[in-house]
Amino acid sequence: MTQQDMGLDWEEDFQRLTPSQFFRKNKQMLGFTGKIRSLTIVFHELITNSFDAAEESGILPDIDIELKRVDKEHYILRHKDNGPGIPEDYITQVYCTMFAGSKFRNIQSRGQQGLGCSGCVLLSQMTTGKPAKVISCYKKNDEIKGVKMKFQMDVKNNTGIIMEKEEFHCEQTGVCIELQFKEVSYSLAEQGAFEYIRRTMIGNPHAKITFRDPTGHKYIFKRAANVVPVQPKEVLPHPKGVSADDLMTMAQNTKKKRYSSMLTSSLSRMSAKRVKEIAEMTNIDMNKRPKAMTFQEAEKIVDSFKKMKIMAPPTDGLIPIGSEQIEKGMKQILKPEFVTTITRKPVTYAGGVSFIIEAGLAYGGDSGRLVNGQKKSEIMRFANRVPLTFDAGSCAITEALKSIDWKRYGLKDLENTPLTLFVNIISTQVPYLSTGKQSVSPEPEIVQEIRQSTMKLARQLQKHLRAKRAAKEKEKRSKVFEDYVPVIIEEAAKLGETDIPEYQEVLAKVTKRALAELLGEKIEEEEEEEELDAIIMEELDEHGYVVDSENSSLNFEEEDEETEE
């Protein structure tokens, strides 16, 4: 059978898709599935990019978001930040080119794919056909330049088409983008855009976000910390965390001239001594040129990594939020009765990928979520400071928290407790389960770390609840005395045929003494007597008397020979 018989003309029918064309047909891979989720992902992408840009320039993020409803499921989103701005020549690259950006490094980052902003523009264009509008103010030669631009994405060529452009007067740097969306929905539900902002502020207490919702209501999420997070450093991959394909990629892109120098410069914890061990184990000539490496050689080298004892990877490239900052964020948003936080020490998963688990627990106040008038517990999942609002069921964080026996910590009904559990995983390679980056793979080491950190916080909550119950019982017992003492005073006076003494004075003395005795505490008079006894005994001791406290007797102690002399 020929291709003509099959009805296939290779020249006309064979096509090569650009990234933009691919994601146009597979927008669910960007997380754009469902009306509520699609809008929340747009908020996520724009906020994340604003945070990254501001922090890299040492600026405390200040974001203003306005969402207007044009019609049912039709909105105009205006997002403005105070970051460094985008130079004119890069605007269409940032917003119209898929897989373009500055995040393709082994570094702790909120995003790693270069799909965020361009994905939002693509969704806008697909659902409304309207162009994007951007105002960018940036510094050039110590002068602030401004440009106002209207453009569309050329999906076929994965580039942008500028429709209008003009200079714009600016007084400070920043970017403002306006996009229109249809087939999306704004909701106050747990997975909606408002909840995304609320959670974002807990993981990023150094930011300020002002949000105007479609009803015109203005929410101001104030900054709880005034410190710009330290920027993470790029780190080299650990030998136990690379594959044969990774090694081949390194070999093709390195500028080194030998296997040995390529390994020591491209991998962490790799020394000349280690390279010599690898050569002995694999019988591979380490003086060969890297570009000549075969896949079989790469496999042998990776297998040798697995057999070697190699130090854990360096952790200076991981920058956690910090317990103090998490606590500030939780107090600012949740105003809890009790809060406790923890930042664990770095550990590794998959043999060579470092990660840090941070956790927080808030009880009472505005903690938890209000559902049909009932306060329910809530889990806030984060990865590198970014809230994970979807796919909770398959996430390692959910699995770890639900595996804990909460009853042993005094929580008989966890679901109906006003409790917020916060967990953040910090890593250069967060093991996401999908391209949507909303769920973390349940690696055993990650699950164990989450359990350990959360159980430690649960013990602190248990102490708080016990102290709270004890205080309540004490107050209850005291109330019993206050209720019955007046009756006893009155009846006792009648029996003694005397006048009823001053009510308040007797009440104060009786309740104080009775409550103290019941609780096994000392009243003020007894404390004063003990203090006086202690002073007397100290004086007697100084004058040479031995005090026998059990027999309440005093014995004169003879002075030694040295004293007599």
The CATH number for 294's domain is: 1.10.8.50
Strand partners, 78: 66, 178
What integer pLDDT is reported at residue 208 of this predicted model?
97
Q: Is 543 domain-assigned?
A: no
Q: Hey, how many other C-beta atoms are within 10 angstroms of the C-beta on 43?
A: 23
Q: Coil, strand or helix: which one is 227?
A: coil
Q: Whose structure tokens read 């490239």?
A: 317
Quick one: average pLDDT of 333-340?
A: 95
Q: Closest Cα partner for 179 from 263, 119, 225?
A: 119
Quick one: average pLDDT of 453-481?
A: 85
Q: Is 60 domain-assigned?
A: yes
Q: Hey, how many other C-beta atoms are within 10 angstroms of the C-beta on 512?
A: 16
Exposure string (b/e) for 416-440, b if CB count within 10 Å is 16 or more? ebbbbbbbbbbbbbbbbeeebbbbb
Q: Is 91 domain-assigned?
A: yes
How far apart CA 398 and CA 326 sit, in angstroms, is 19
Q: What are 222-266's pLDDT values in tens digits?
A: 999 999 988 877 778 888 888 899 899 999 988 999 999 999 998
Residue with the larger pLDDT of the pair 25 and 79: 79
217 and 256 in a common domain: no
In the predicted model, what is the mean pLDDT of the chain?
A: 83
Using alpha carbons, list the distances in angstroms from residue 40 to 114, 187, 297, 389, 420.
Answer: 18, 9, 46, 9, 21
67 and 179 in a common domain: yes
The CATH number for 407's domain is: 3.30.230.10
Q: Is 40 domain-assigned?
A: yes
Are the C-beta atoms of 391 and 360 separated by less than 8 Å? Answer: no
Q: What are 489-522's pLDDT values in tens digits?
A: 777 777 777 777 666 666 566 555 555 555 555 5
Q: Is 357 domain-assigned?
A: yes
Q: Is 473 domain-assigned?
A: no
Helix, strand and coil content of the chain, in percent to the nearest 5, comes to 40, 20, 35
Q: What are 30-78's pLDDT values in tens digits?
A: 667 789 988 998 999 899 999 999 999 999 999 999 999 999 889 999 9
75 and 164 in a common domain: yes
Q: Is 166 domain-assigned?
A: yes
The amino acid at 128: T
Q: Domain limits at 257?
A: 239-307
CA 315 to chain centre: 18
74 and 157 in a common domain: yes
173 and 248 in a common domain: no
How many domains is the chain partitioned into structurally? 3
Domain C-terminal end among 465, 492, 511: 465
278 and 217 in a common domain: no
Q: Which of 2-16, 43-57, 151-165 has the lowest mean pLDDT?
A: 2-16
38's tokens: 């699609």
Element containing residue 219 per DSSP (H, E): strand 218-221
Residue with the larger pLDDT of the pair 500 and 184: 184
What integer pLDDT is reported at residue 373 of this predicted model?
81
Quick one: average pLDDT of 546-551?
A: 49
CA 252 to chain centre: 37
252 and 207 in a common domain: no
Q: What are 355-398's pLDDT values in tens digits?
A: 999 999 999 999 998 888 888 999 999 999 999 988 888 899 99
272 and 213 in a common domain: no
283 and 189 in a common domain: no
209 and 93 in a common domain: yes
Highest mean pLDDT of the ranges 2-11, 17-26, 136-145: 136-145
Q: How confident is the model at residue 556 (pLDDT cuts 50, 70, 90)?
A: very low
DSSP code of 298? H
The CATH number for 93's domain is: 3.30.565.10
Domain C-terminal end among 465, 495, 513: 465
Domain C-terminal end among 221, 255, 289: 221
Q: Is 532 domain-assigned?
A: no
Quick one: average pLDDT of 325-329?
A: 94
What integer pLDDT is reported at residue 31 of this predicted model?
64
212 and 95 in a common domain: yes
Q: Which of 289-298, 410-419, 555-564 has the lowest mean pLDDT?
A: 555-564
156 and 79 in a common domain: yes
What integer pLDDT is reported at residue 116 of this predicted model?
74
Q: How confident is the model at residue 12 (pLDDT cuts 50, 70, 90)?
A: low
What integer pLDDT is reported at residue 155 of this predicted model?
82
Long-range contacts of 290-294 (CB under 8 A, 24+ apart): 290/250, 290/251, 290/252, 290/254, 290/256, 290/257, 290/258, 290/259, 290/262, 291/251, 291/252, 293/247, 293/248, 293/251, 293/259
95's tokens: 């917003």
Percentage of the chain surpassing pLDDT 90? Answer: 50
